[in-house]
């Protein structure tokens, strides 16, 4: 009896297990089918435009939307694929799924200006903000927002005074002359008696921008141009920038976002961050002490920024510590180092590719500098050289793409985009689009300048024979005047590049110092530039060129 009871129990428990297994199997199948249905739905959605009537690129990923396509294969082509190749040819509008977020991309300079002038808010992407914080610190201007951003932005803006610019002009000229002299020295010291030397131009420009940054901002001469060697600060910074790009590029790599795990990459990140930050903080501490004891007359823009930020903060009952000033310094170095050095490298490349423009630029520089008797007081003294830099920025914008979040409902070409919509502004594509510039892929400085209309009396020595071209002047050249509203390399509006004036001063002056004493040639007529996007658009191979002394 007991046996039969137990066999009954066991057969009923077997059958209930079988029922449970059946239910589980049906449940799992239903869940999988539901998931598949959801994924199919999302995939279908990723194929359709988030904004009816606006074209979108095909093959959106069901979860990541067009983001994987925007990365491939080298950044530039992905952005071109999504923001240009499928854009409406009349309006330049293109719709994009950034994961499940609808985004509108614009190509018209007028639309870009309208968005940038109206919106200072950047889209809130937590993972980007996290990596920016780990790279540059919590008070980095690039990802800060609201009142906090305003406080530090105002402090930086107020510290970039005309007096500071004048002093930085002297520093930049000194750095430009040191670099030229070091290259002349390297040419003389060659054992093979050759009159030329082959060098990578981009690292040389990085040496110059590092020297300018540290002398202008912290008041120290790190002598990169004198030694023709990239300083540890610059190489450490490049490591951190590469790490930022690597970590942000793979959001599914958990270890890349968890900086506290003791992996070798995280340990090296922590060590390098410490090296860079200790360097800045040590110099800030020393500079502050010297200032209190009045023992230094060195210019130190960081101290000015600190003072200005304390003043702004005190007005709202807050304070500013040295860590925050260090974060600002990190941001300024990141924002100004690769951008300006890439611009200079691309400019020298473009000049070597266009001998006529090179010759005109050199003539202007020689006229202004004379037999080394003239001095450069600012970029306005060299309008043609400045126009050459504009064309370089237009054709090779160091910043490829920026984003804004609309602060109010906005109508573009009859489409209404709600407040909060994310907008992509592909700066390089905007500047290379025929809806904004005629012959957009041609290097034509005469879009921006024309031969001077000054009277002969006025054309004394040390003066350029060129002047800015007004936007209504259609007579002085066969090309239409440059559209200043579509020159967006420095962005526009409240959140534009705060270092724009310094960058233009740096680019024009360093270029003038170099071209006055040296000649640059392509390594071979068939040499083709290979741009890469390492956060900033830059020459992938360092840009090898042949350097000669000018007679």
Q: How far is the CB of 340 from ligand HEM (least distance, A)?
A: 4
- How distant, in Å, are the alpha carbons of 137, 309, 399, 499, 547 from that of 336? 16, 20, 11, 7, 25
| Token output for 311 | 């003043």
- How distant, in Å, are the alpha carbons of 97, 121, 228, 238, 549 from that of 346? 33, 31, 20, 19, 20
Number of residues in contact with ligand HEM under rule CB under 6 A: 23
- How distant, in Å, are the alpha carbons of 460, 462, 504, 515 from that of 370? 12, 6, 22, 13
Residue (8 or 124) nearer to ligand HEM, CB: 124
The stretch near ligand HEM (CB under 6 A) out of 3-11, 26-34, 126-134, 489-497 is 489-497
Output the furthest CA–CA distance in the chain (Å, rounded). Answer: 128
- In angstroms, the CA 48 to CA 9 distance is 58
Site for ligand HEM in 141-200 (CB under 6 A): 141-142, 153
Site for ligand HEM in 13-32 (CB under 6 A): none
Q: How far is the CB of 213 from ligand HEM (least distance, A)?
A: 7
**By CB under 6 A, residue 402 contacts ligand HEM:** yes
**By CB under 6 A, residue 426 contacts ligand HEM:** no
**By CB under 6 A, residue 96 contacts ligand HEM:** no
Residue in 169, 299, 340, 347 binding ligand HEM, rule: CB under 6 A: 340
Residue in 205, 302, 332, 345 binding ligand HEM, rule: CB under 6 A: 332
- In angstroms, the CA 228 to CA 230 distance is 7
Residue (177 or 496) nearer to ligand HEM, CB: 496
Find tokens 């002056």 and name the residue: 509
Residue in 503, 508, 515, 533 binding ligand HEM, rule: CB under 6 A: 503
Instruction: Judge whether 340 and 379 are in contact, CB under 8 Å.
Output: no
Residue in 336, 445, 481, 482 binding ligand HEM, rule: CB under 6 A: 336
**By CB under 6 A, residue 137 contacts ligand HEM:** no
Instruction: Judge whether 333 and 496 are in contact, CB under 8 Å.
Output: no
Strand partners, 135: none
The stretch near ligand HEM (CB under 6 A) out of 1-9, 81-89, 332-340, 467-475 is 332-340
The stretch near ligand HEM (CB under 6 A) out of 171-179, 451-459, 465-473, 494-502 is 494-502
72-105 in b/e form (b: 16+ CB < 10 A) is: eeebbebbbbbbbebbeeebbbbbbbbeeebbbb
Residue in 138, 313, 497, 522 binding ligand HEM, rule: CB under 6 A: 497
Residue (322 or 402) nearer to ligand HEM, CB: 402
Residue (153 or 469) nearer to ligand HEM, CB: 153
Q: How many CB atoms lie within 10 A of CB 342?
A: 27
Q: How far is the CB of 56 from ligand HEM (least distance, A)?
A: 23
**By CB under 6 A, residue 499 contacts ligand HEM:** yes
**By CB under 6 A, residue 60 contacts ligand HEM:** no
**By CB under 6 A, residue 522 contacts ligand HEM:** no
Report how far Cα 340 is from the mean position of its chain's Cα atoms.
9
Is there a binding annotation on residue 423? Answer: no
Residue in 82, 498, 513, 535 binding ligand HEM, rule: CB under 6 A: 498
| Token output for 410 | 């906005």
- In angstroms, the CA 379 to CA 374 distance is 14
- In angstroms, the CA 95 to CA 58 distance is 11
Residue with the CB atom nearest ligand HEM in the bound state = 499
DSSP H helices, 258-354, are: 264-292, 301-314, 322-353
**By CB under 6 A, residue 490 contacts ligand HEM:** yes
**By CB under 6 A, residue 325 contacts ligand HEM:** no
Residues annotated within the binding site for heme are 497
* Residues of the shown chain interacting with ligand HEM in the complex, contacts defined by CB under 6 A: 141-142, 153, 331-332, 335-336, 339-340, 343, 393, 398-399, 402, 489-491, 495, 497-499, 502-503
């Amino acid at each position: 009896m007991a046996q039969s009871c137990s066999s009954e129990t066991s057969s009923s428990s077997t059958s209930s297990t079988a029922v449970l297994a059946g239910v589980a199997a049906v449940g799992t199948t239903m869940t999988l089918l539901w998931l598949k249905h959801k994924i199919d739905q999302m995939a279908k959605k990723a194929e359709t435009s988030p904004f009816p009537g606006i074209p979108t690129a095909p093959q959106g990923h069901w979860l990541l939307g067009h983001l994987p396509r925007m990365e491939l294969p080298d950044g530039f082509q992905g952005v071109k694929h999504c923001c240009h190749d499928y854009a409406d040819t009349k309006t330049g509008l293109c719709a994009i799924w950034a994961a499940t977020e609808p985004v509108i991309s614009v190509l018209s300079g007028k639309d870009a200006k309208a968005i940038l002038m109206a919106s200072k808010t950047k889209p809130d992407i937590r993972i980007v903000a996290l990596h920016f914080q780990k790279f540059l610190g919590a008070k980095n201007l690039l990802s800060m927002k609201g009142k906090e951003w305003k406080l530090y932005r105002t402090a930086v803006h107020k510290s970039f005074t005309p007096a500071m610019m004048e002093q930085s002009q002297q520093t930049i000229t000194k750095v430009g002359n040191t670099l030229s002299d070091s290259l002349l020295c390297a040419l003389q010291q060659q054992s093979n008696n050759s009159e030329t030397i082959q060098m990578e131009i981009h690292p040389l420009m990085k040496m110059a921008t590092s020297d300018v940054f540290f002398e202008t901002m912290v008041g120290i001469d790190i002598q990169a141009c004198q030694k023709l060697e990239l300083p540890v600060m610059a190489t450490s910074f490049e490591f951190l920038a590469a790490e930022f790009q690597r970590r942000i590029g793979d959001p599914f790599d958990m270890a890349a976002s968890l900086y506290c795990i003791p992996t070798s990459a995280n340990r090296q990140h922590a060590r390098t961050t410490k090296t860079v930050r200790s360097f800045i903080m040590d110099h800030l501490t020393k500079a502050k002490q010297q200032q209190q004891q009045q023992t230094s007359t060195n210019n130190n823009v960081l101290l000015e920024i600190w003072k200005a930020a304390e003043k702004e903060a005190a007005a709202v009952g807050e304070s500013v510590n040295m860590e925050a000033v260090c974060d600002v310094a990190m941001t300024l170095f990141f924002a100004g180092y690769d951008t300006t050095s890439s611009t200079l490298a691309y400019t020298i490349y473009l000049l070597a590719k266009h001998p006529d423009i090179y010759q005109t630029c050199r003539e202007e520089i020689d006229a202004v500098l004379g037999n080394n008797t003239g001095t450069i007081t600012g970029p306005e003294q060299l309008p043609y050289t400045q126009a050459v830099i504009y064309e370089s920025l237009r054709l090779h914008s160091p910043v490829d793409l920026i984003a804004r979040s609309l602060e109010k409902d906005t109508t573009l070409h009859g489409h209404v985009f709600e407040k909060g919509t994310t907008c992509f502004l592909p700066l390089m594509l905007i500047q290379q689009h025929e809806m904004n510039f005629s012959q957009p892929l041609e290097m034509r400085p005469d879009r921006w300048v024309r031969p001077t209309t000054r009277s002969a009396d006025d054309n004394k020595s040390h003066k350029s024979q060129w002047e800015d071209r007004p936007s209504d002047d259609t007579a002085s050249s066969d090309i239409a005047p440059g559209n200043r509203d579509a020159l967006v390399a420095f962005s526009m509006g409240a959140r534009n590049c705060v270092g724009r004036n310094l960058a233009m001063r740096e680019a024009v002056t360093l270029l003038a110092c170099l071209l006055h004493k040296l000649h640059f040639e392509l390594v071979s007529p068939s040499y083709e530039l290979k741009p890469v996007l390492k956060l900033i658009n830059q020459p992938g191979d360092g840009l090898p060129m042949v350097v000669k002394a000018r007679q």
